[in-house]
């Protein structure tokens, strides 16, 4: 974890040489008036990942890139993710945009001669997508959605100062979630707060997971976990019935019923990844573009959920927080 955090701090621009095939692939966007082909592999459909895709496509258009965009979702199926990556390679795309860690891993394992830009990945080094943030050293770069949980916790404690135990539900197969849990546990321990966790391997496991953890916790922390995020409405309904508040690391789950978030705006992250893609399509070498952290974070509270929980939205903790229905 210390290694990851040090990498996140050391986002220094370091020039390096890209692989020749990836450089040649990027040349396709340099020729004036030439239409390029961009492939998108998205691990699954849910609010956050959809927003990342939309932001990316918008940014290409806003930047004047004449592109044929091929969008494909694997619906959470890893074998299908690999198949999509292979099909994009066969289609001869000039660049691949991979949304979420499994999609990025599938693209990297399949493609070595086409530039890859990822987003919605928390730990690209741990996922073996890049060697370091500042020096990707391959045909892969992108935007990490890592956000420290410390500020999120402190904002939440202004509203719920008596919380003694947080709960987390996570996908046992998702590298991003394991990294987040380790950091969250350390940050909660500094504040004398315990952490209860329940692992799941399928969406169908989530209702029982929420029911089992609810009696043991004072609040739930929702990670940027794709499997659990996809079931945010189910999680929210159960928490409201149990009168338990929730804090999310990203805004999509608040839009789907969790109480509040101070974290990633995935549409803006998609645009950020889009700007990186534009550089590559205009001829910049992939390995000269360091991995970036999310530039735009947002604070949201779900008004309906707050009302259901009897939360005072005039409280100091909700100052400067955007309220959504």
Instruction: Verify that 175 and 54 share a domain, yes or no.
Output: no
Instruction: Verify that 160 and 40 share a domain, yes or no.
Output: no
Instruction: Verify that 206 and 312 share a domain, yes or no.
Output: yes
Question: Residue 77: inside a domain, yes or no?
Answer: yes
Which residue numbers in the chain have pLDDT < 50? 1-32
Judge whether 170 and 231 are in contact, CB under 8 Å: no
- One-character DSSP codes across 176-192: HHHHHHHHHHHHHHHTT
Q: What is the pLDDT of residues 97-151, one digit of tens each?
A: 999 999 999 999 999 999 999 999 999 999 999 999 999 989 999 999 998 899 9
Instruction: Verify that 159 and 287 share a domain, yes or no.
Output: no
| Edge-to-edge strand ranges of the sheet holding 95-99 | 67-73, 36-42, 95-99, 116-121, 140-144, 292-293
Instruction: Verify that 113 and 206 share a domain, yes or no.
Output: no
Question: Residue 242: inside a domain, yes or no?
Answer: yes
How many structural domains does the chain have? Answer: 2
pLDDT of the residue at 272: 98
Question: Residue 4: inside a domain, yes or no?
Answer: no
Instruction: Verify that 89 and 189 share a domain, yes or no.
Output: no
pLDDT of the residue at 22: 43
Rounded distance between C-alpha atoms, residue 65 and residue 271, angstroms: 13
Instruction: Verify that 304 and 228 share a domain, yes or no.
Output: yes
Question: Residue 1: inside a domain, yes or no?
Answer: no
Question: Residue 3: inside a domain, yes or no?
Answer: no
Instruction: Verify that 72 and 190 share a domain, yes or no.
Output: no
Rounded distance between C-alpha atoms, residue 45 and residue 37, angstroms: 22
pLDDT of the residue at 33: 59
Ramachandran category for residue 33: left, alpha or beta (phi over 0 → left; psi -120 to 50 → alpha): left
**From residue 285, how far is each of 19, 20, 27, 56, 141 by CA, in Å?**
9, 9, 9, 19, 10
Rounded distance between C-alpha atoms, residue 299 and residue 318, angstroms: 9
Question: What is the percent of the chain with per-residue pLDDT over 90, rounded to a whole number?
Answer: 80
- One-character DSSP codes across 195-229: EEEEEESSGGGHHHHHHHHGGG-SEEEE-S-HHHH
Q: What is the pLDDT of residues 202-216, one digit of tens each?
A: 999 999 999 999 999
Q: CATH number of the domain that 137 lies in?
A: 3.40.50.2300
The residue count of the chain comes to 325
Judge whether 161 and 139 are in contact, CB under 8 Å: no
Instruction: Verify that 100 and 155 share a domain, yes or no.
Output: no
Question: Residue 7: inside a domain, yes or no?
Answer: no
Question: Residue 84: inside a domain, yes or no?
Answer: yes
Instruction: Verify that 185 and 317 share a domain, yes or no.
Output: yes
Instruction: Verify that 164 and 74 share a domain, yes or no.
Output: no
Question: Residue 9: inside a domain, yes or no?
Answer: no
Domain, as residue range, for 176:
149-263+298-324
Instruction: Verify that 95 and 239 share a domain, yes or no.
Output: no
Q: Which residues contact 143 (CB under 8 A, 6 or more apart)?
A: 118, 119, 121, 269, 272, 273, 276, 291, 292, 293, 294
Q: At what angle do helices 101-110 and 78-90 cross, to 10 degrees?
A: 50
pLDDT of the residue at 20: 41
pLDDT of the residue at 27: 47
């Amino acid at each position: 974890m210390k290694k990851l955090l040090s990498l996140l701090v050391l986002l220094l621009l370091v020039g390096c040489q890209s692989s020749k095939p990836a450089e040649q692939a990027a040349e396709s966007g340099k020729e004036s008036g030439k239409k390029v082909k961009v492939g998108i592999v998205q691990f699954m459909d849910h609010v956050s990942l959809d927003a990342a895709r939309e932001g990316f496509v918008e940014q290409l258009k806003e930047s004047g890139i004449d592109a044929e965009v091929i969008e494909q979702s694997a619906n959470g199926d890893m074998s299908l993710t690999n198949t999509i990556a292979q099909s994009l390679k066969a289609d001869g795309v000039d660049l691949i945009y991979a949304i979420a860690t499994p999609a990025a891993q599938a693209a990297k394992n399949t493609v070595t001669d086409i530039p890859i830009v990822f987003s919605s990945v928390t730990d690209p080094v741990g996922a073996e997508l890049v060697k370091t943030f500042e020096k990707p050293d391959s045909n892969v770069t992108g935007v990490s959605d890592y956000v420290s949980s410390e500020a999120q916790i402190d904002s939440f404690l202004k509203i719920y100062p008596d919380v003694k135990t947080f709960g987390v539900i996570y996908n046992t197969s998702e590298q991003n979630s394991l990294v987040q849990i380790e950091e969250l546990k350390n940050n909660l321990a500094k504040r004398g707060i315990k952490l209860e966790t329940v692992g799941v391997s399928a969406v169908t496991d989530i209702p029982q997971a929420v029911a089992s953890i609810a009696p043991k916790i004072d609040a739930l922390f929702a990670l940027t976990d794709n499997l659990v995020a996809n079931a945010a409405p189910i999680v929210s309904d159960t928490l409201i019935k149990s009168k338990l508040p929730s804090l999310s690391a990203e805004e999509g789950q608040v839009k789907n019923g969790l109480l509040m978030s101070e974290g990633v705006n995935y549409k803006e992250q998609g645009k950020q990844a889009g700007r990186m893609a534009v550089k590559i399509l205009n001829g910049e070498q992939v390995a000269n573009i360091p991995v970036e952290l999310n530039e735009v974070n947002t604070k949201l509270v779900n008004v309906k959920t707050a009302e259901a929980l009897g939360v005072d939205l005039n409280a100091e903790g909700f100052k400067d927080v955007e309220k959504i229905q």
